[in-house]
Amino acid sequence: MVVEIGNIAKLGPKEKSTVEKLGPKDKPAAGPTCTILVLGHGSNGSKACGNRYKTDHYYDETNDILYTDSCGGTEATYGFYSDGVNYREYSASGLSAPIGSCGRSDRRLKQNISFKYNSPSGIPIYEFEYTNESDGIGTYVGTMAQDLIKLGIHESVITGRDGYYFVDYSKIDVDFRKI
C-alpha cells in the first residue's frame, strides 16, 4: 500500500530512508552488498604496501564506497589501500581495480628458492615458497628485494614496519604471481 502525502510517499511500513526515489515509481532502495576487506592504508602505493597494520574495511559493492567501521558507517579516507599482495586507490570515483603488486619480497621470508631467468632489464626472477603461511601458501614467482638493492633499484623497495622488505612490482619489469 502506498500512502501519498503531498508529493512525499511512504511505502507501507517502510521508512522514508529506504525509498530510493519519490514519485510515481517509488520502490524500496536495494540494500548494499558489502564485503569485508583487510587492508592497510597509505598516501601512496608503496606506503600502503609497507603498512603491516591492516584492519577490517567494509566495501559496499553496490555504491562503490569503502567504510572503516561498518557497511554504511564511516567512509574511509581517500588514498591507497593494500591487502598485502596488491594495492589500489580509493577516491571520489570509488575503489579502483588493483594498480600494482606489492609482495613481501624479502629473501629472509622465503624458502625453496630457485632462480629461473633474468627480466629484460636484468632483474633475477625466482620461484619460491614463503616460510610463513600468513605471507602466502603455495609457489610464487617474483624477485628478491635484496637483489634490487644490489642492482641500485631502490625506488621499488619498501621497508615494512617489521624491518622486512616489500617490492612495488609496478615499478619493475617483473610480475609477482602465484603459480
Confidence of residue 126 (pLDDT cuts 50, 70, 90): very high
- Per the structure, the count of domains in the chain is 2
Q: Is residue 11 part of a domain?
A: no
Say if residue 112 is in the same domain as residue 134.
Answer: yes
Say if residue 154 is in the same domain as residue 96.
Answer: no
Q: What angle do CA 100, 98, 41 make, to 5 degrees?
A: 80
Q: Is residue 19 part of a domain?
A: no
DSSP 130-172: ESSTTT-SSEEEE--HHHHHHTT-GGGEEE-TTS-EEE-GGGS
Say if residue 124 is in the same domain as residue 82.
Answer: no
| Confidence at residue 149, expressed as pLDDT on a 0 to 100 scale | 96
Q: Is residue 7 part of a domain?
A: no
| Confidence at residue 101, expressed as pLDDT on a 0 to 100 scale | 64
**Are the CB atoms for 83 and 97 separated by under 8 Å?**
no
The whole domain housing 167 covers 107-178
**Are the CB atoms for 79 and 95 separated by under 8 Å?**
no
Say if residue 118 is in the same domain as residue 173.
Answer: yes
| Confidence at residue 75, expressed as pLDDT on a 0 to 100 scale | 92
Say if residue 75 is in the same domain as residue 112.
Answer: no
Q: Choose one of 83, 100, 117: the last residue of a domain.
A: 100
Cα separation, 56 vs 36, in Å, equals 6
Q: And the C-alpha cell for 69?
A: 567501521
Q: Single out the residue of 42, 49, 46 nearest to residue 85, CA to CA.
A: 49
Model pLDDT for residues 87-108, shown as the tens digit of each residue: 888 998 888 887 766 667 899 9
Which residue is listed with cell 588514498? 79
Non-local (6+) Cβ contacts of 125 within 8 A are: 115, 116, 117, 118, 119, 141, 142, 143, 174
Q: And the C-alpha cell for 39?
A: 587492508
Q: Is residue 54 part of a domain?
A: yes
Q: Is residue 93 part of a domain?
A: yes
Lowest mean pLDDT among 18-22, 101-105, 109-113: 18-22
pTM: 0.54
Percentage of residues of the chain with pLDDT beyond 70 = 77
Q: Is residue 69 part of a domain?
A: yes
Model pLDDT for residues 139-160, shown as the tens digit of each residue: 989 999 999 999 999 988 888 7
Confidence of residue 30 (pLDDT cuts 50, 70, 90): low
Say if residue 73 is in the same domain as residue 122.
Answer: no
Average pLDDT, stretch 43-58?
79
Q: How far is CA 129 from the centre of its chain?
A: 22
pLDDT higher than 60, residue 14: no
